Amino acid sequence: MPIAMTRTGAKRDALLKAGAAEVLATDEEDVVERVLGLTAGRGAEFVFDAVAGPGVLDLARAVAPGGTLIEYGALSGVTSGLRTGAFAPAVDRVFGLDEIVEAHRYMEAGGRVGKIVVTVDH
């Protein structure tokens, strides 16, 4: 069941018309409580968040065990942790784009600890 989220109920009718089975107004209701209620306590199987704002923690709590949360917004402030050094990315190895075949082989071998980075020169 597709559940759409918007800040206020003003867009409710448009979102229902676009195919949402339910619409949650995040400024007007408890996101976690409502999602759990709509899913009989299980939570959402997939959550797509194009904002990644302050509500990202609620969205994470609304995901079902084994579910997937996809963040593709940039407002959450997580990147500030990278800038300040609070979060340090674990990079296993860096490849140039011309080494993409080798990078894929390295990834498929499964021995890495951390992320594989491919750089692109402009």
CATH superfamily name and code, 3-78 = NAD(P)-binding Rossmann-like Domain (3.40.50.720)
3-state secondary structure the chain: CCEEEECCHHHHHHHHHCCCCEEEECCCCCHHHHHHHHCCCCCEEEEEECCCCCCHHHHHHCEEEEEEEEECCCCCCHHHHHHHCCCCCCEEEEEEHHHHHHHHHHHHHCCCCCEEEEECCC
**Positive or negative: CA dihedral 55, 60, 72, 112:** positive
Per-residue pLDDT at 77 = 62
- pLDDT value at residue 87: 72
pLDDT at 85: 77
Domain boundaries, the chain: 3-78, 89-119
Run means of pLDDT, 10 residues per run, the chain, 122 residues: 90 91 93 96 92 83 93 68 74 94 92 87 74
The DSSP bridge pattern shows strands 63-71 and 91-96 to be: unpaired
